[in-house]
Amino acid sequence: MGFSASNEPINYSTPYVTNWPDILARSHHVVSFLDTCGHPSYQHTTLRSLLPRPPDYACLVLSATVGCVSAVAREHFLVSVGLLGLPTIVVITKTDMASTAQLRATLEDFMSVWKGGSAGLGGLPFVVKEDKDVTKAVDGLVDGSLVPIFLTSSVSGERLGLLQALIGQLPKPPAGGEHHKRFLSLVSDHGPTFPPFDVNASPAVERVLTAAEADPADDFTQRWTGTEGEEFVAFQIEEVYSLPDAGDVVAGTLLRGQIRARDALANAEWDALTTFHLGPDRQGRMHPVQVASIHRHRRPVAVICPGQTATLALRWPREGVAEVGESDSSYHISRPLVRLRKGMVLLGSAWDSSVHMEFMAEVAVVHRASSLPSSGTAEVLLSPELARSRLDKFALRTGHEVTVHCGSVCQNASVVSVTKLNPLPDAGHLPDAASDRPPSAEASAEGAVEDGHAAHTPQLFHPERNHCLRTGERGLLRLRFCKEMEFLRVDSPVLCRYGECLAVGRIVRR
């Protein structure tokens, strides 16, 4: 949707607007929308689309006629606010069909979700009723103090104008990893959904990393170093296309640096500004390519900057050319035997990058909201055996094959080893819970409880007992990719899925 300088919406209902170029020509700025799936079966698709390119804002749409917040909506809210740290707008629709009791029940249920899982993370709920509330809602949404709520109806058009006005006034957040910083700060907060762990490597983590054997470079690590003086460019690939006229086209987000199209430069600048390295392939190698043209919003552009999404048409070096970019004819549309895939990166840098088959992540195991009843069930009503079985259901164990999401990387990985960093908060109330740790660790845990520091004292369990992480526990996972090497960076947010179990955290070692 386009907006004019006065924040008036520009769309296909605007006079003399018949196509997308007309909208771009008349718009002062453009807002792109990403519609996510609302069914539990498609949660993988939702996470796969959100994690590589977190949006600037999130909008949670609820139906007033249901009278409650569905389990999928709960999980989407916790992912957008608790995991990605996105400023979130709540839109309650079908107010013309809902009774007063249904609308009240929907609002009360949303308040329970907000208080129970993300209190203090997304600001205070604020119902936008009139024009003067829009400016306050925009300011509160940007600084994180408010969660705007709109009660709308598509039939009567009630408050849709207020929603459009708020969207038109939203500023573009600055690039530079703000979502990553919010992610790292949020997962360190206390709460029932995201257990606490130190963002900086705790002493327990440091001891584990120090005691671990050094990984041989020829085992799973391949290194590539660019040309001296080359600008650091990092472009993550999220989609891959092959077009008859353009050849190989990749879509993604530019993380750092600038990319200029070869067609927009003079011949003397081609090699210096448009030669990049794409990979990794199955052997962990990077391949030289050039960017022939760039498109954004279906229009050609000459350059893209950090935070922008674009599609790039690639050109590959001809076989038998000694020097990359040695002449105008050294690059052509056909590619060598390189399989393009999601998760690859486009680099142009002297910075020493590395691709890996294994990595270590510090994670906290949380439950998926869609796997629990919407109304919730008090643990005190469950028998110890049932409570234990529920905790075992949301557990990661050595040998499990999990799906790893890290930026545009999405690949299955096997859990090589598990190291616990703290005990289960309520382990003492479950049968045989004490047997999961040696007496020395149990005694130290009891002493920490008496001092009131149990939640802040990381503890390493006996190696023989480090076989799984249950809900509420945190630890170190050593993961090995099942198929291909990937480009990874330390401190990158990582999410691991295994059935109804979620583990969120960061990469601490590659």
Domain positions in the chain: 31-178, 187-216+356-509, 226-351
Tens of pLDDT along 179-222?
445 444 433 333 333 333 333 334 444 444 444 333 333 332 33
Please list, in sequence order, all residues whose beta carbon lies within 8 angstroms of the beta carbon of residue 166, skipping any fewer than 6 positions away: 89, 128, 134, 137, 138, 141, 148, 150
Question: Could you tell me whether strands 345-347 and 275-279 are parallel, antiparallel, or unpaired per DSSP bridges?
Answer: antiparallel
- Would you give the DSSP letter of residue 85? -
Tens of pLDDT along 68-123?
888 888 878 877 776 677 889 999 999 999 999 999 999 999 888 887 654 445 67
Range ranked top by mean pLDDT from 67-71, 424-428, 476-480: 476-480
Give percent above pLDDT 90 in the chain. 24
Residue 496 to residue 401: CA distance in whole angstroms:
10
Nearest residue to 302 (alpha-carbon basis) of 250, 310, 81: 310
3-state secondary structure of 274: helix
**pLDDT number for residue 336:** 64
Residue 282 to residue 71: CA distance in whole angstroms:
39
Q: Is domain 226-351 in CATH 2.40.50.140, yes or no? A: no
Residue 75 to residue 82: CA distance in whole angstroms:
10
pLDDT at 275 over 70: yes
189 vs 306: which has the higher pLDDT: 306
3-state secondary structure of 349: coil
**pLDDT number for residue 335:** 65
Please list, in sequence order, all residues whose beta carbon lies within 8 angstroms of the beta carbon of residue 203, skipping any fewer than 6 positions away: 458
Full-model pTM: 0.69
DSSP state letters, 26-45:
H-SEE----PPP-SGGGHHH
Residue 464 to residue 123: CA distance in whole angstroms:
43
**pLDDT number for residue 97:** 93
Range ranked top by mean pLDDT from 67-81, 446-460, 474-488: 474-488
Are the C-beta atoms of residues 95 and 152 closer than 8 Å to each other? yes
**pLDDT number for residue 191:** 31
Least confident of 88-97, 135-144, 221-230, 325-334: 221-230
Least confident of 230-239, 345-354, 430-439, 465-474: 430-439
Least confident of 51-65, 206-220, 458-472: 206-220
Residue 148 to residue 453: CA distance in whole angstroms:
37
3-state secondary structure of 106: helix
Burial category of 87 from C-beta neighbours within 10 Å (exposed 0-12, middle 13-18, buried 19 and up): buried
Which ranges constitute the DSSP H helices of 370-503? 384-393, 439-451
Average the pLDDT over 338-367 and give the result. Answer: 81
Tens of pLDDT along 361-416?
998 887 655 544 444 333 333 344 544 555 566 688 888 999 999 888 999 999 99
Are the C-beta atoms of residues 136 and 79 closer than 8 Å to each other? no
Report helix angle 160-169 to 132-143, nearest 10: 50
DSSP state letters, 398-425:
TT-EEEEEETTEEEEEEEEEEEESS--T
Residue 152 to residue 96: CA distance in whole angstroms:
8
Structure tokens at 510: 């590659």
**pLDDT number for residue 306:** 85
Residue 452 is which amino acid?
A: G
139 vs 452: which has the higher pLDDT: 139
Average the pLDDT over 35-49 and give the result. Answer: 77
Q: Which homologous superfamily does the CATH classification assign to the domain defined by 31-178? A: P-loop containing nucleotide triphosphate hydrolases (3.40.50.300)
Phi and psi at 135, nearest 5°, equal: -60, -40
95 vs 439: which has the higher pLDDT: 95
**Is the preceding omega at residue 280 within 30 degrees of 0, hence cis?**
yes
CA distance from start to end of the chain? 41
| β-sheet bridge partners, residue 150 | 91
Kind plus residue range of the DSSP H or E element containing 310: strand 309-317
455 vs 306: which has the higher pLDDT: 306
Structure tokens at 400: 């499990």
Least confident of 53-62, 176-185, 440-449, 498-507: 440-449
Please list, in sequence order, all residues whose beta carbon lies within 8 angstroms of the beta carbon of residue 249, skipping any fewer than 6 positions away: 240, 241, 242, 243, 311, 312, 313, 314
Q: Residue 393: how many CA atoms within 13 Å on its side-chain side? A: 11
Same CATH topology for 31-178 and 187-216+356-509: the answer is no
Q: Is domain 187-216+356-509 in CATH 2.60.120.10, yes or no? A: no
Structure tokens at 39: 């069914």
Residue 473 to residue 240: CA distance in whole angstroms:
38
Cβ neighbours around 48 below 10 Å, total: 16
pLDDT at 491 over 50: yes
Cα-to-chain-centroid distance, residue 11 = 30
3-state secondary structure of 251: strand
Instruction: State the chain's mean pLDDT as an integer.
Output: 73
**pLDDT number for residue 430:** 32
Are the C-beta atoms of residues 66 and 34 closer than 8 Å to each other? no
263 vs 299: which has the higher pLDDT: 299
